Structure 1
Amino acid sequence: MGEDRHNVLLVVRCQLGEREAFPELVRVWHGPVWRYLRGMVGSPHLADDLAQEVWVAVVRGLPRLRQPERFTPWLFTIARRTVANHLRQAYATPETSVVEADTVAADDDPLSDVLNTMEIEAGLTGLPPLEREVLILFHLQDLPLAACAEVLDLPTGTVKSRLHRARRMLRNILIERNHEA
């Protein structure tokens, strides 16, 4: 909880206009945001460009953030929107909505204990964007399910089922690539 409190205080310090606070906020959060962006777009150079867009949006939006304790999901929502805008422009087609069945039970998957960051990153490129994103947020960014649901703008149950499906798909990819899963 100390880390959460530190983040809240850092956000409030930024909102109050304290000079040193924003560079510190960027130092703390740039790495996680950049890794999320790189995981979503695949290119380190593009992740650099998109990260700059994210930080510009954070600077503009931070004064209006009413609940500093919700900074993390707010930040990743901005990052997600930045990726979506980029993809929309890159493919010049409107984003299509995906209708999902929420019937998959998402009980504890033994794979979740075994997966490590390297294995997840190795298999990410083979996953569709929706499944890739939920794995990045949950496993690589360590966001709790509730925060993932907020970022993805989905019910927690849908996030659980998507996470379960993503783990299954990742397991199959890793097996195909002769990784131990």
Structure 2
Amino acid sequence: MDRGEEVVRQLYGRWRGPLHGYVLRLVGGDHQYAEDVVQETLLRAWKHVDELTPDDAGPWLYTVARNLVISGFRRRGGRNSEVPIEPKDLPPVADEVEHVLQSWQVAEALRALSPDHRAVVVELYYRRRTVTEAAAVLGVPPGTVKSRCFYALRALRDALEERGVTES
């Protein structure tokens, strides 16, 4: 992983939540609009990765987000609407960036699970083990694997919904 990717990962981990809360207040509680502004802000941070450090990027990120909200309101006559993104502003790998950002959100939600629940999800969904195989690896009965999986997936779904990640 190059330095740029690592900085963007750190920026996302540290600033995504606070930035989303800030923008959410600016846009009157419109979660989708707030998420769009945060995504665009982080994309712009990616373009300026050589100038930013995760610890000192807050003022820059908040300024960019605020300016995006203001310009969006002006263009749409003061209504909540999508953040205007000019084609020249998009990196050529926009789909990959979206995928990376969603992957980070899933990883963040996984880290929030208890170690037992996280272990079950990793064994079943990432390592593609059966319930019986996961039970053997984890040293617990198959019924425990099923139960932990049920509660882990419910917690993951709730955590991802809070972060604005929904099923497509």
Q: Same fold (TM over 0.5)?
A: no
Q: TM class by shorter-chain length?
A: 0.3 to 0.5
Greater Cα radius of gyration, structure 1 or 2:
2
**Bigger relative CO (Cα 8 Å, ≥ 6 apart):** 1
